[in-house]
Every structure is written in structure tokens, then in C-alpha cells.
Structure 1
């Protein structure tokens, strides 16, 4: 007789023990509830209609992040849109708003004393440097006198003032002349596409603006600065002056 048959005859309960062991092996080893880490990741949200159509055509440019959010390939590193100037170049009087009186002052300074207007503009741009107004105003006055005396017109001052326009444009991320022409009529497309070439073209346009429309350029820069940032001399906080009471004497009434 075989060994298995001898075991069954010697212990009739052995078959039940073996069956129970096989049943335990088939059961899951852990009855603990599943943790969030062990759960499968949720399916990504459905694509919008225009994105779903692109995927069906086999020309999708979208990728998926770990959070299940679609990311377009051109979003990373995309430049911020340019802001436009508050007033136009030829709007010498400005606009009828809360800056109307300031626009009239800018127009008067640009027509009568452009050296003072340029000094105030440079002082607002470089507010942390002491003596900015005096240095720029005196330098402009010297170049103005030399240009008008030897050449008959103010031809030397624009070489000195146009970097301020470039600094204002970069400070507030303003739209340049090349970008304005590309937006309005579609020209200068090759200059706008490349960042370095565009900056060179905008610098040349800033210089040309100061050469051919010098007074209007100074006025436009002055209006832009007065609308976007206060004067450095007006940033001080008001001081509360405490006046002590006068002397009092104690006397006996008559």
C-alpha cells in the first residue's frame, strides 16, 4: 500500500487539515485596508475639444505632468507680453485725466527748458544716485549750447539722452517702435522674431526718435514716468512735529 494511503488510514482528520491549508494559501496574505500610495493613479482629465481634435489628427503638442495636467511645449520660456505707452509720441498735452496739470507742465518744460525736463526724467529713472538731476541737466545744457552754436540746431543732445528712453522701455517692458509697426502693419517681422536683433533695432529706433522728434520724445518719457512712479523727492514720510506748551506761571489771583 502507498504511503499516502497509510497516512489517511492512520489519521482520518489529515485530509481536512490539508484542505484547510490549501484554502488558507488561496486567501490574501494581508487584510489591511489599502493605503493611498498603493492605489493606482487616477486617470487624467479629459482633454478640451480643440486639444482632443489635435490628438485625433496625430499632431498633438501637449504633454502630461505627474498631476495629470496638460502642458503645452511653448509655455515654458514664453516671453511676457509688452505693455504700451500711456500716451502717444505726438500727444504733447497728454490726456484729460488726473495727470492733466502734470502733462501741461511737462509740455511747458519740454518746449522752454528741455534740460530741466531731461534732468527730472533721469532723476526718476536713477533715483538711488545722488546728484543725478544736476549732472544730467548741466551735461544737457552744455551739449545744447555747443550744438546750437556750431551747427545751428540741437544735434548733440540726442546722443546723450536716448539711453534714458531705452532704460524706461526696459524698466516697464514697453513696446518699441519695431513691435508697434509689426503689430499695426505687419512689417519688421524679421527684427521682432529674434530677441537680440529686436533689441538692437529698438535701440536704433530710440536714437532716431530723439534725433527727429527730440522734444516730443522727452515729453512722452516725462508723462510716462509721472504716471508710473512718483518723484524721488516725494517718497519721504510726513514727520509729526510736537510743539511743547508754553511756559505757565502760578500766581495768586488778586
Structure 2
């Protein structure tokens, strides 16, 4: 329970706190004078999906490149609801859990066809990652090539650093521990002598 509370605290933080210094352990090379004063700063990476203002891009892989990820291809071919629910959990940033999405997709598949729900997820992905296309093309792609479209969206999320099979909260944890580490060595102090 405490772990979930920490994740929600991370999600609610608007500004990144300043990096915290950690002191490096001494090296075994005999000359510890430079390393003794070195400070290691850890800068957390941004968490979440950020919509950036940049030029329009294409999908990172083609629609029919399903064979480049056979595991996802087979999962999507035999049970597209699972792949789609994993995608939905990532693009809604955990607001719709994959289990909830699985139920919604199952009902949509029985009543009116799954593509009516999943074409909206494609539009959201395109908007978040600034990919060329239109809502009409998204619906046509899902109506005609649903498994290929889901695989392409899954690969796109993977291309942007997300593993949809882990779920949103596990991806938050992965990003939390993916930090930029850099070392700053202060200048050597001048020697003080007694006179």
C-alpha cells in the first residue's frame, strides 16, 4: 500500500526536486586526492508521456512490420483484447487499468466490433507523439487491419521507452530508476601553511 502511495506522490509532483549529492567511495588506485572531494549527482528523468511541440513524425515502424516482434504479433493475433488493454493502460497513464480495458474491449467486440473503441487509442498515440495521420485514417486502419494496427501501436510505445506488457505503474518505476548520473570534482584547495 505504501508503494502505491509513493507512485501517486511521484505522479502529482509538478517540478523535479533538485538533485541530491552522494559522495563517491574512494578508488583503489592509490591517488584518492581528486576522488575524495568528488560529488555524484543523480538527476531523475521525467516521468510520463509528454506531448512535445516538434515537427510531425512518421510511425517508427511500418503497419505491416508485425514480424519484427513475433511475441506481440502472436498475442495480438489470438487475443487482440490483451494487447489493446495494455496499450490503453499506458496511453491513459494508468487511469484505465488493463483489466478494466479488457472488459470494455470484450463488450465492444461482442456488440459493435472492437475497432470502434481501438481506433480512438490510435488517435491518442498519434497526438501524444506528434505522428502524421488523421482520425479517419485511424478508424480505417483499425477496421481493416486491426491486429497490424495494434502491433504497430505497441511497437511505437516500445520505441518511446514504454513496455506495455508491464503496465503503467511498473513503467513509472523503471523510469524512476533510469537516472542521469554525472560527477563534479571541485578544484583542489590551496595548501595552508603556518608561518
Pairwise TM-score range, normalised by the shorter structure: 0.5 to 0.7
- 2:147 is equivalent to residue 220 of structure 1: no
In the alignment, which of 140, 147, 152 is matched to residue 208 of structure 1? 140
Q: 1:57-84 CA distances to partner (integer Å, 9 max, x unpaired)?
A: xxxxxxxxxxxxxxxxxxxxxx842111
User: Structure 1, residues 80-107: CA drift from partner, whole Å, max 9, x if none?
Assistant: 421111110011112xxxxxxxx22211
Aligned position for 2:99: 134
Answering whether residue 58 of structure 2 is matched by residue 84 of structure 1, we say: yes
Match of 1:229 in 2: 161
Q: Which has the higher Rg, Structure 1 or Structure 2?
A: 1
Aligned Cα root-mean-square deviation (Å): 1.9
CA distance in 2, matches of 1:163, 1:135: 16
Q: In 1, Cα distance between the equivalents of 2:94 and 2:66?
A: 29
Pair 1:165 & 2:122 matched? yes
Instruction: Specify every segment of 5 or more residues in structure 2 that has no aligned partner in the other structure, as ranges.
Output: 1-52, 178-195
1:21-36 aligned at under 5 Å gives the runs none
Q: Helix, strand or coil: the match of 2:67?
A: coil
Contact 2:108 2:116 in 1 (8 A): no
Runs of 4+ in 1 over 4 A off after TM superposition: none
| Secondary structure, aligned partner of 1:89 | coil
Q: How many residues align?
A: 118
Write the distance in 1 (CA, Å) between the matches of 2:110 and 2:54: 42
Shift of 1:229: 3.0
Question: Which one has a larger percent strand, Structure 1 or Structure 2?
Answer: 2
Unpaired runs of at least 5, structure 1: 1-78, 95-102, 148-155, 177-201, 239-254
Deviation per CA, 1:12-45: give whole Å up to 9, x if none. Answer: xxxxxxxxxxxxxxxxxxxxxxxxxxxxxxxxxx
TM-score norm. by structure 1 comes to 0.43
Q: Distance in 2 between matches of 1:109 and 1:138?
A: 17
Compared CA separation, residues 139 and 128, structure 1 to 2 (3 A) = closer
